[in-house]
Structure 1
């Protein structure tokens, strides 16, 4: 880290001025080390006093053994890249059986084993192509492993003794996600995210039956004596394993982890706040046990120890223990406990000129001080999908909660303004309107719904006005405030939250009047193009980049609402207006940056495809140098339109 700090300070002191940059001399790209460092985890299992955890976002993923008694990581291994195209970045699914830990990875849906005796890691099977997930794993009493996968929506069976694999076919028409599975001697139980169904599969015959229908997607399934529990939104489904005696309890909170204990008590943690509750069959409501041991965090696993202590593993990269008698808890940071940290794919970026670069990661914010070169990192309650500045505060739009939080740039204090609600848990874009002193947020719903929303947030009071369905039957991927004020332009996506058939064929642009809070007009610029990735207004034109149409871009004349210019980029990404020019940074083709005019001019390539959300550029004022990524490293890139591409 000392070498990195020295390099950063030296680079900042010797940086070329705008006049010098016009000479087009090297360096084109300056690198400053990992942009976002993570100890986040996804999969977690507990076995005989040890927890087995898999990291999120690192390549290759780390599988670590954590001693519950000493609260230290005692050994670790990596999950190697398998023969299939793509590289694993984590494993949501883990289970321990027969002396081995099994891990199911993403974005390549592969199955691995870790031998507890020898530490050997093996690749066992690939369930599909790059872009898929093994969301869940379960083991039956005889050691057979069951996996729930995306995007095929299947349950797969793997026999460790023979290596034989089979799947049980389509569980529900149109289903993509088997989000959670459980197994007993005779059946496998599957929770379907798109269709909200709890299914039972006969292990012998393969016969499939529906046990219960939830109001929304089912994300958690857990055995509970002779019953099965499933979480569907804020509804807890409690049903006998044969499908009889279905009980539905309105909990008022979505639960992300459950553990059933020998005395019949079930403990669960809520999302998004992390509060701990208990439940017993027959209860009509949850009973609060304790405040969140890790506020705002996702819980990956719950377990009750032999000593009667509840332990949880948090997605942000932490372990907590809760004394159920006193309701007091302790928290351990996994990196501090010995978990190998590593570079992750960043979510967002923002530059406070002459002060700092902020990089949003998974439940964390990394900060590079431009004055000293120092690096610091602090926790935030989720993934900051986009950032904007207002005075001495930065505002983040957070997934998966749909929360808007403020960050004081003087103290790093994080505070909540509230949640968007209305099912709007995927906020994609946020801007600040200085005329009204309001924040503007574009969002998509979570799950099988189409309508996104424009939300107008008061940064002082936290009051939020949500305009759901402002573009009917489309979610919102992007927005752009007219520089003259009064109008915000919205870019749509006909696919909505996914999981339900679209009713529209073409993505729309809409002009929303901020004074009357009504849509002035709506137009579909290109027939058949379904998703805008980003839109940006400049000099009477609305520039747009499409996501699913081979990097198509347009410049729409706002006066006539017709296309003035159009072309093709290497892929999709975000647009930036700087010094009277429009720039685009894109995925694919090596990772490229362009300046757009009557056509697209390539300015830089070889930046990589390592953004988690969308490639971004953040220019220094009065300069042609922009902060961005090179691979997973923070980088400053010369993007002078007068210079040849490099």
Structure 2
């Protein structure tokens, strides 16, 4: 039938007002784009040296890689993976390594299992489980008779494992309330254990199990070495040097040491945090002496060994190995990925979207950058773990653990500049924001070890000058902050556990409002009794949204005028909040990895994204769209999280 021109116009108008097919197409099309591993790592945790070879274990990869390195050529000669054990959970690394009886042994985390690798055949065996998922084998030492001694978390035990019989035993409570046996050394008669919570150096009789305290340091003990009739231990800025019978205790001034080795003549060498420099000590010295600049600047050292006369070899947590000539101070550094260590995807620390330019992904001592204009990728080293990232103009600022350093990175050149350290015991910076009105960086942080008070730090990004307000919420550390720049108020979220090494003095986590003009706390509020930790907070309008960490994924909205809870709900776990296009979103751990809209209405937007963030799961929305950069498993991904679409399902995360 022919239509009149008027009828055709009416029909066209009707078509225009019908539901838009573009909306349906956007929901039906693949809503997850994957771009490969978000962060690739060659980082290591455990390392051991034996007979011209080194053995290192990767950090963050699943399954972990144990690699053998020829110390002469500085090349990886072979590698194996540590298979998943029968227990629930999967190993992601092994801090604890030792070589004995033709085998290299590795104690893993976050399942505390013991493995062996036969140096002749390469056979890998699972030997023993020291506990359940969430535990660590922090340290491992082989005694002269071949028995192995392990220090574990969270039971705070010293364990003995006999490779000849396959039997294990522990020595009971080493110190009441202790969770971390962070370091062990062993000789023919005793095991020497460094306790992180209690700061004690203990001797355990291998035959009878009798426990004796040798020394008490000012803070946690993270490294122990023995030689002859003496034991050495590092405790904060103190080096403990004591006879094995507890006599002749000496405490000397030292930097914070993270590795020790003792030569045949009793000379002790150690490396310091956060700079990575090399120091020397002999019994009778009043203090340690710096002998060499950092072979791997601002890096952690996992193992030190004298590998030839006058030559010191170190293994860096970032994934490097260095050789130092003690006579000249000259050092050579080798990147372990370049040496042949199999690299793999790791869990991500942080992420930042620079719209229409790049996505920055913080890893372990590295930054991965995906160029959104070209699709290219690049990777560069940074001095630690970027726990959070923020942009100011053409610079990015990273809050770095474990040093508490604030690092500036140029968007154009990747050139780095340190703004220095927060100090005041603040080594764990959790959150950073930029205040454009006052041109300052705001940092929320926590201490390490047996301390409770965190801090709000206000940092000048040009000069690095810092005003640090320690204990701004008394008796609590800070996990998060959220800025209302127009009102000049920053809101703070507390954690009663502090550094986790001492009993809390509070039972309920607080929110606080801090005036950036007067530099005073305006108010403090404890919203839900006995909820101990705020994971993240975000101000939006006159509401403050907050996610708790340890309380079944509870979230709340708080009216900033009345300070009353206006809404409350439950997530699968915890994560970071973000505001986009007038709505509040969050992504959360557990339940397979989930994303939600919290306001204006609560809605689950995605499941099955994986639980592979190291710190907070995050969403980074592109301006003007519902596309958010995040993770799918360990892949960098762009998710279509349009609230009008049905929720993403686990199958949808495959693209």
Aligning the two structures, in what range does the TM-score lie when normalised by the shorter sequence?
over 0.9
How many angstroms does 1:401 deviate by? 0.7
How many angstroms does 1:597 deviate by? 2.2
In 1: Cα distance, 2:236 partner to 2:22 partner? 57
- Which residue number in structure 1 is paired with residue 283 of structure 2? 281
Of 58, 74, 92, the residue aligned with 2:77 is: 74
Q: Quick check: 2:451–2:502 contact (8 Å CA) kept in 1?
A: yes
Q: Quick check: 1:198–1:211 contact (8 Å CA) kept in 2?
A: yes
How many angstroms does 1:279 deviate by? 0.7
How many angstroms does 1:308 deviate by? 2.3
Matched, 1:604 2:606: yes
- Which residue number in structure 1 is paired with residue 102 of structure 2? 99
Q: Quick check: 2:310–2:327 contact (8 Å CA) kept in 1?
A: no
Q: Quick check: 1:565–1:598 contact (8 Å CA) kept in 2?
A: no
How many angstroms does 1:23 deviate by? 4.0
Q: Quick check: 1:109–1:127 contact (8 Å CA) kept in 2?
A: yes
Q: Quick check: 1:480–1:536 contact (8 Å CA) kept in 2?
A: yes
In 1: Cα distance, 2:90 partner to 2:280 partner? 39
How many angstroms does 1:305 deviate by? 1.7
Q: Deviations over 1:38-70 (max 9, x none)?
A: 000000000000000000000000000000001
In 1: Cα distance, 2:584 partner to 2:600 partner? 11
In 2: Cα distance, 1:307 partner to 1:370 partner? 51
| Shift in alpha-carbon separation, 1:18–1:244, aligned structure 2, 3 A | farther
In 2: Cα distance, 1:22 partner to 1:641 partner? 14
TM-score if structure 2 supplies the norm length? 0.95
- Which residue number in structure 2 is paired with residue 230 of structure 1? 233
Structure 2: which 5+ residue stretches go unaligned? Answer: 1-19, 649-655
How many angstroms does 1:527 deviate by? 1.2
- Which residue number in structure 2 is paired with residue 619 of structure 1? 621
Of 397, 400, 403, the residue aligned with 1:398 is: 400
In 1: Cα distance, 2:645 partner to 2:259 partner? 54
For residues 494-643 of structure 1, the aligned pairs below 5 Å read 494-597=496-599, 599-643=601-645
- Which segment drifts farther, 556-565 or 283-292? 283-292
- Which residue number in structure 1 is paired with residue 427 of structure 2? 425
- Which residue number in structure 2 is paired with residue 84 of structure 1? 87
In 1: Cα distance, 2:111 partner to 2:176 partner? 23
- Which residue number in structure 2 is paired with residue 168 of structure 1? 171
Of 478, 481, 484, the residue aligned with 1:479 is: 481
Q: Quick check: 1:21–1:624 contact (8 Å CA) kept in 2?
A: no
Of 177, 187, 192, the residue aligned with 2:195 is: 192
Matched, 1:118 2:121: yes
SS of equivalent residue, structure 1 residue 466? strand
How many angstroms does 1:598 deviate by? 5.7
Matched, 1:65 2:98: no
Q: Deviations over 1:55-108 (max 9, x none)?
A: 000000000000000110000000000000000000000000011001000000
Q: Deviations over 1:135-162 (max 9, x none)?
A: 0000111000000000000000000000
In 2: Cα distance, 1:378 partner to 1:323 partner? 27
Of 469, 472, 487, the residue aligned with 1:470 is: 472
Q: Quick check: 2:436–2:485 contact (8 Å CA) kept in 1?
A: no
In 1: Cα distance, 2:388 partner to 2:321 partner? 28
Q: Quick check: 2:346–2:634 contact (8 Å CA) kept in 1?
A: yes
Q: Quick check: 2:584–2:600 contact (8 Å CA) kept in 1?
A: no
Q: Quick check: 2:205–2:211 contact (8 Å CA) kept in 1?
A: yes
| Shift in alpha-carbon separation, 1:217–1:524, aligned structure 2, 3 A | same
| Shift in alpha-carbon separation, 1:132–1:79, aligned structure 2, 3 A | same
For residues 287-302 of structure 1, the aligned pairs below 5 Å read 287-302=289-304
For residues 208-247 of structure 1, the aligned pairs below 5 Å read 208-247=211-250
Matched, 1:254 2:252: no
Q: Deviations over 1:402-457 (max 9, x none)?
A: 11101111110111101011111111000000011000000111001111110111
SS of equivalent residue, structure 1 residue 24? helix
SS of equivalent residue, structure 2 residue 120? coil
Q: Deviations over 1:490-509 (max 9, x none)?
A: 00111111121111111110
- Which residue number in structure 1 is paired with residue 140 of structure 2? 137
In 1: Cα distance, 2:592 partner to 2:223 partner? 38
In 2: Cα distance, 1:516 partner to 1:142 partner? 65
In 2: Cα distance, 1:263 partner to 1:187 partner? 22
How many angstroms does 1:21 deviate by? 8.3
TM-score if structure 1 supplies the norm length? 0.96
Q: Deviations over 1:4-45 (max 9, x none)?
A: xxxxxxxxxxxxx99768842322111000000000000000
In 2: Cα distance, 1:539 partner to 1:517 partner? 22
In 2: Cα distance, 1:516 partner to 1:476 partner? 20
SS of equivalent residue, structure 1 residue 258? strand
- Which residue number in structure 2 is paired with residue 26 of structure 1? 29
- Which residue number in structure 2 is paired with residue 347 of structure 1? 349
Q: Quick check: 1:535–1:545 contact (8 Å CA) kept in 2?
A: yes
In 2: Cα distance, 1:45 partner to 1:353 partner? 44
- Which residue number in structure 2 is paired with residue 8 of structure 1? none
Q: Quick check: 2:359–2:370 contact (8 Å CA) kept in 1?
A: yes
In 2: Cα distance, 1:154 partner to 1:177 partner? 8
- Which residue number in structure 1 is paired with residue 268 of structure 2? 266
In 1: Cα distance, 2:547 partner to 2:419 partner? 31
Q: Quick check: 1:299–1:315 contact (8 Å CA) kept in 2?
A: yes
Equivalenced residues, count: 629
Task: Name which one, 1 or 2, has greater alpha-carbon Rg.
Answer: 2
How many angstroms does 1:224 deviate by? 2.5
- Which residue number in structure 2 is paired with residue 366 of structure 1? 368
Q: Quick check: 1:569–1:600 contact (8 Å CA) kept in 2?
A: no
Q: Quick check: 1:22–1:642 contact (8 Å CA) kept in 2?
A: no
In 2: Cα distance, 1:597 partner to 1:334 partner? 47
SS of equivalent residue, structure 2 residue 557? strand
In 2: Cα distance, 1:468 partner to 1:306 partner? 46
- Which residue number in structure 1 is paired with residue 17 of structure 2? none
In 2: Cα distance, 1:236 partner to 1:140 partner? 24
Q: Quick check: 2:585–2:599 contact (8 Å CA) kept in 1?
A: no
SS of equivalent residue, structure 1 residue 425? strand
| Shift in alpha-carbon separation, 1:183–1:562, aligned structure 2, 3 A | same
In 1: Cα distance, 2:533 partner to 2:550 partner? 6
How many angstroms does 1:633 deviate by? 0.1
Q: Quick check: 2:435–2:485 contact (8 Å CA) kept in 1?
A: no
